[in-house]
Amino acid sequence: MSVLDVERTGDIVTLTINRPEAFNALNTEVIGALEAEVGAAAAAGLRAVIITGAGEKAFSAGADLKEIAVMGPDQARETMTRGQRSFRAIEQAPIPVVAAVNGLALGGGFELILACTIPVLSTKAAMGLPESGLGLIPGYGGTQRLPRVLGEKVAAHLMLTGTRLDADRAYMLGLTPLPPVEPSDLLPAAKAVADKIAAQGPLAVRAILRALDVGRDAPVEAGLAVETGLAALAVAGAESGEGVAAFLERRPAKFANPEGQL
């Protein structure tokens, strides 16, 4: 049985972490498969990826502690570095990655959400970084991404106390722009987000994602320079010609799949 189910519908692919007996824990096989499938979707010119967990209990309960428990320092460093690289690849993907959070998302599961573009939360979602209670710390980018998303003080409190966020609290704090939905509505809601993005100009979407990624750590001036270059390419491209023409003619735009990656 595959640890990751892959289902393509049109220009959108859904990746389901398939380890429900282990609360969809993230071992090295799962993490590697996620990175590979997101990369393959982008290379194939698809418009969006949805990541979710199998079953009703967990998106992902985090790293596989059975795997971690037998590691020495060198192997642990290698595993963390590999996981960070995979999550960074997901974060930098030239197409959006929507996290459909169907239950528990702890440790590495929450860190995976932080690496995705837009989370969509079920009312049953619960997120946290409980590593400090195990004598550990977040190792897949949580100490760096959580403060950027929720602010340093909130991030410090969550990581130092192991406090969990329910879906309503996460929405209130700004983890997601969308209010939580009932579990039965989760995948349709995630697909609606993906479909909405897929209807936009694909090169424009890639340019926006690129500008957002560069701007995370760059001074404002450097980020603006990247934005200017990407915006100029967009204005001069055929995609904007179709988009503007469709707007003026009051019809839906018909965007072609991108031939290259910005």
In angstroms, the CA 164 to CA 199 distance is 35
What kind of fold does domain 4-198 have according to CATH? 2-enoyl-CoA Hydratase; Chain A, domain 1 (3.90.226)
Annotated active-site positions, please?
Answer: 111, 131
pLDDT of residue 11: 96
d(CA 32, CA 41): 14
pLDDT less than 50: residues of the chain: 260-261
pTM above 0.75, yes or no: yes
DSSP bridge pairs for 100: 120
**Rounded Cα distance, 137 and 135, in Å:** 7
d(CA 245, CA 56): 45
| Residue 101, SS3 per DSSP | strand
Please report how many Cα atoms fall inside a 13 Å half-sphere around the Cα of residue 131, on the Cβ side.
21
Distances (CA, A) of 22 to 98, 171, 181: 22, 27, 25
What pLDDT does 261 receive? Answer: 47
pLDDT for the residue 238 = 80
Eight-state DSSP code of residue 93 = -
How many CA atoms does the CB half-sphere of 122 hold within 13 Å? 23
Q: Where are the domains of the chain?
A: 4-198, 201-249
**At CB < 8 A and 24+ separation, what contacts does 251-254 make?**
252/199, 253/199, 253/201
